[in-house]
Structure 1
């Protein structure tokens, strides 16, 4: 099999997805949820409204990169790579978010010690405990996806990946017709089409197009459109307190754009060279995602600087979050990740010492 190329475009896409989520939270979601009182500029608000689709792009990226990580990996090695990648920055994010919430004294962000401890697992919802930060829901979805990949690795089923993808899409189709909480919780039924699309694009980049892969891609895209369309309709009608998420047509066009971008990546028609921008997009996206939401809301509403233009405050808060994220990456994430990986899979260096295949520069990120 040919060497895996370096997809620097993926890091760039990850950074764009993160920026869109920040815009969604600070320029739209915060106002609709009552956490922020300042209005957004009229021309910015419609764009920010579509920022939630950054999560959809994250999940597609994850499907792409996780399959690449899993191919040729052992179960222990895969677990080591995921735990070392996700948990060090996440633990810091949980503790910092809780500390800022306690310091602010704002009831809307109050957390308890038990809640913090449960959140350190990344799956507090398994024991019916709320997330310390609402943005962390997507990390639980990611982790559930990783568990499914671990099952495929353990039973040697990656060689039958297309069959398992078809089964997963069938479950997602059933859930689309009649949503079932257990399917969404344990099998990521709602988000499966996005992970599947990413996996298929990677599979195609390595093994080429087949009729089955085309059909599976079309199936996954159809389900992605269905879930995106229904969510946008619910938001438009204000059903069950849903947040407005753009018009169904806007959502569909954005989701179609994502497919086009991945087609450009795997066809080689869009390439990027390594650069400082790409590197830092890849390195800081995850800690920025972990730290931005509740801490950002609290900072934006802090007394003493409400006379400053709201949009300038957003820029300053985002800048501060980036600086803190760099510190987390430099002094916590990197050293602790290396230690965790070695502790979980101590023979990894021995196994990979003779491996010369170029790897994707940045590890897959949940948020």
Structure 2
């Protein structure tokens, strides 16, 4: 395909795309995305979902952070997949994502049951099981979210699984992988008119269940990696990224009684974020402009960011409501929601995410002794 360089295009790591030392720029981007997620939930969505909460003095109404985190997952899938046996790579992603997710669901369920709010969602044991199984996107009317932030988890798991399968096949290498990327963007765009025209339930269940309307975010991450490692040229990359931006714009249309309404603010914010991530991947590290004292704190927060993401929303809403009942104002509620998310995320990281990952990887290594990498001529 035109625009692919002479270098082999493959979903694997490359010297030009990675460094031995962790880049502070990536920690800053990841930390910024999680902060935007918390601000969106604390200042806008909290009051939108629960109008009895006091209006916030400062409002950040753009749904951008979670989308960019999914994009970053796509990028780092390419960076890491060639660093050893592909099965170990896949198991490592499962070991990193699933245990803290399951623990967060149980924690949030317990808080909702132990600290109920009159008139708010009161989950049952069936709701807990449905959330542990990630059934929301398949039948949202039957399986409500315990925490709406969790929508990214099954998409990440599917993305890492598809990456592993592609890497083991001829479709994850050479020009074929570029065909896969274009298809993953253009097919959802082509079916968008049907998706927003009250399609049959089975069609909606399949399309939303596999998250087809979000594939472009993972594709954008892969495209950024391909460009940053000089595997595709600037013109090809620009065209693919523009297609991903168009898919994001379509995704941000919502159905209202007045018809389809576009959320252009969120769309523009995500598109700007795509460019920021691309420049972060392509350019030098930001360590020369980030002082050490700030860098250490950013790295700490980035290290607990997944736990913060998983725990801050629903528990934060409950904290906000209880503080309001006690007479606290909107600024104090916002600060408490953010602070609670950071503390809960830190505890989840220390008590579940890291020890579970170590234990599961140790179990894998005991059962499957180290073998030569399947990508031995191409990995960094």
In structure 2, distance between residues paired with 1:192 and 1:120 = 23
- 1:57 equivalent in alignment to 2:68: yes
Contact 1:173 1:223 in 2 (8 A): yes
Contact 2:312 2:341 in 1 (8 A): yes
Residue 224 of structure 1, aligned match among 237, 241, 248: 248
Give, in angstroms, the shift of residue 97 of structure 1: 0.4
* Cα gap change, 1:14 to 1:204, in 2 (>3 Å): same
Residue 298 of structure 1, aligned match among 318, 340, 346: 318
The total of aligned residue pairs comes to 343
Give, in angstroms, the shift of residue 260 of structure 1: 2.5
Give, in angstroms, the shift of residue 170 of structure 1: 2.2
- 1:112 equivalent in alignment to 2:124: yes
In structure 2, distance between residues paired with 1:292 and 1:70 = 30
Residue 278 of structure 1, aligned match among 284, 288, 298: 298
Aligned residue number for residue 148 of structure 2: 134
Contact 1:145 1:188 in 2 (8 A): no
In structure 1, distance between residues paired with 2:355 and 2:44 = 36
- Uncovered stretches (5+) of structure 1, i.e. residues with no partner: 361-367
* Cα gap change, 1:304 to 1:314, in 2 (>3 Å): closer
- 1:192 equivalent in alignment to 2:193: no
Give, in angstroms, the shift of residue 85 of structure 1: 0.9
Aligned residue number for residue 32 of structure 2: 16
In structure 1, distance between residues paired with 2:190 and 2:223 = 21
* Cα gap change, 1:110 to 1:305, in 2 (>3 Å): closer
In structure 2, distance between residues paired with 1:295 and 1:262 = 30
In structure 1, distance between residues paired with 2:365 and 2:258 = 49
* Cα gap change, 1:316 to 1:187, in 2 (>3 Å): closer
Give, in angstroms, the shift of residue 303 of structure 1: 6.1
Aligned residue number for residue 365 of structure 1: none
In structure 2, distance between residues paired with 1:318 and 1:126 = 30
Across the aligned residues of Structure 1 and Structure 2, the Cα RMSD in angstroms comes to 3.1
Residue 253 of structure 1, aligned match among 268, 288, 293: 268
Give, in angstroms, the shift of residue 317 of structure 1: 3.2
Q: Deviations over 1:326-357 (max 9, x none)?
A: 1221222211111112224546773489x9xx
In structure 2, distance between residues paired with 1:206 and 1:349 = 31
Give, in angstroms, the shift of residue 172 of structure 1: 1.6
Contact 2:324 2:333 in 1 (8 A): no
- 1:176 equivalent in alignment to 2:189: no
Aligned residue number for residue 364 of structure 1: none
- Uncovered stretches (5+) of structure 2, i.e. residues with no partner: 1-13, 196-202
Aligned residue number for residue 8 of structure 2: none
Q: Deviations over 1:48-98 (max 9, x none)?
A: 111x11122112111111222223553421221111111221122111101
Residue 323 of structure 1, aligned match among 334, 338, 343: 343
Give, in angstroms, the shift of residue 264 of structure 1: 1.9
Aligned residue number for residue 204 of structure 1: 227
Using the size of structure 2 for normalisation, the TM-score is 0.79
Aligned residue number for residue 38 of structure 1: 54
In structure 2, distance between residues paired with 1:10 and 1:238 = 41
Which aligned pairs between 1:66-85 and structure 2 lie closer than 5 A? 66-85=77-96
* Cα gap change, 1:315 to 1:12, in 2 (>3 Å): same
Aligned residue number for residue 93 of structure 1: 104
Q: Deviations over 1:81-137 (max 9, x none)?
A: 111111221122111101110012335231112322332234455575333212212
Contact 1:80 1:345 in 2 (8 A): no
* Cα gap change, 1:120 to 1:227, in 2 (>3 Å): closer
Give, in angstroms, the shift of residue 294 of structure 1: 1.1
In structure 1, distance between residues paired with 2:227 and 2:323 = 53
Using the size of structure 1 for normalisation, the TM-score is 0.82
In structure 1, distance between residues paired with 2:186 and 2:270 = 20
Give, in angstroms, the shift of residue 239 of structure 1: 5.6
Contact 1:123 1:140 in 2 (8 A): no
In structure 1, distance between residues paired with 2:80 and 2:51 = 38
Give, in angstroms, the shift of residue 35 of structure 1: 6.0
Residue 103 of structure 1, aligned match among 108, 114, 117: 114
Aligned residue number for residue 312 of structure 1: 332
